[in-house]
Amino acid sequence: MEIRLDGKSAVVTGGSKGLGLAIAQEFAASGADVAILARDPATLADAKGQIQRGAKGKVAAVSCDVSKMAPIKAAYDQVMSEFGKIDIFVNNAGQSTRGPSETLTDEMWQADLDLKLFAQIRFCRLVFPQMKERKWGRIISVLNIGAKAPGADSAPTSVSRAAQMAFTKALSQEGAPHNVLVNSLHVGVIVSDQIVRRHRREGANVSLEDFIAQAGCRWAVWAGPRNSPLSQPSSPRTPHPMSRAARSTSTAGALR
């Protein structure tokens, strides 16, 4: 299915790597002006170059720590200055933080909520009014299947993602009368830089291939037989059809 986005402007947080970069590349190739947000300027510059090779419109790269309100507002102002409007917002920033609940400190909980839930809330508070005014907007939050089926040692990520899912549902009801469609994409295990970083942190005695396979099995157990996330891990460019939970939606479907 070809979805044309000519004349639209999109913002993708966590857009310098992995799934966020793949989404930004597809949006740009479909004609949209695209702004990617991430923290590391060097990684952003490299990602911008990759996107520009297939882009039909403008590409912007903005350094932003989405866990804090002031950088979010500064990034929003910069994108508005360059593009004039934001039609599509993809809330993709975040990393997997997990462990036994009794080991999680207040600081760990707050940091995870700031990076995931409050980043979503703060960005949506900025972009939502203009989308309602124009009677067109699309907001997509990239979550994981732990939001629906959390397992042991999956906090704080699974709890933050569940809160994001609840906020998505509430905002979708507010946006629907104004043709502002709000959806979430619940992914399973994707072979990207994030799982490579997790392997470096946690899998010292296991090969990367075995670590990925174990992660896939763990998600499958959490999701249960009806919502098993994958038969094989997927890549950001070619999502496996079973890598999404039942409530998820494709980015193409969310943009219709």
pLDDT in tens, the chain (256 residues): 778 999 999 999 999 999 999 999 999 999 999 999 999 999 999 999 999 999 999 999 999 999 999 999 999 999 999 999 999 999 999 888 889 999 999 999 999 999 999 999 999 999 999 999 999 999 999 999 999 989 899 999 999 999 999 999 999 999 999 999 999 999 876 766 666 766 777 766 888 777 767 766 554 444 444 443 333 444 454 333 223 322 334 455 567 6
State how far the Cα of 126 lies from the Cα of 113, in Å rounded to an integer. 18
- The confidence score (pLDDT) of residue 41 equals 97
- The confidence score (pLDDT) of residue 189 equals 65
State how far the Cα of 16 lies from the Cα of 46, in Å rounded to an integer. 8
State how far the Cα of 153 lies from the Cα of 78, in Å rounded to an integer. 39
pLDDT averaged over every residue in the chain: 85
Report percent pLDDT > 90 for the chain: 68
Domain ranges (residues) in the chain: 9-188+243-255
**Predicted TM-score of the model (pTM):** 0.80
Which CA distances in Å does 10 have to 91, 166, 168, 173, 213? Answer: 11, 23, 18, 22, 34
Classify domain 9-188+243-255 by CATH number: 3.40.50.720
- The confidence score (pLDDT) of residue 191 equals 65
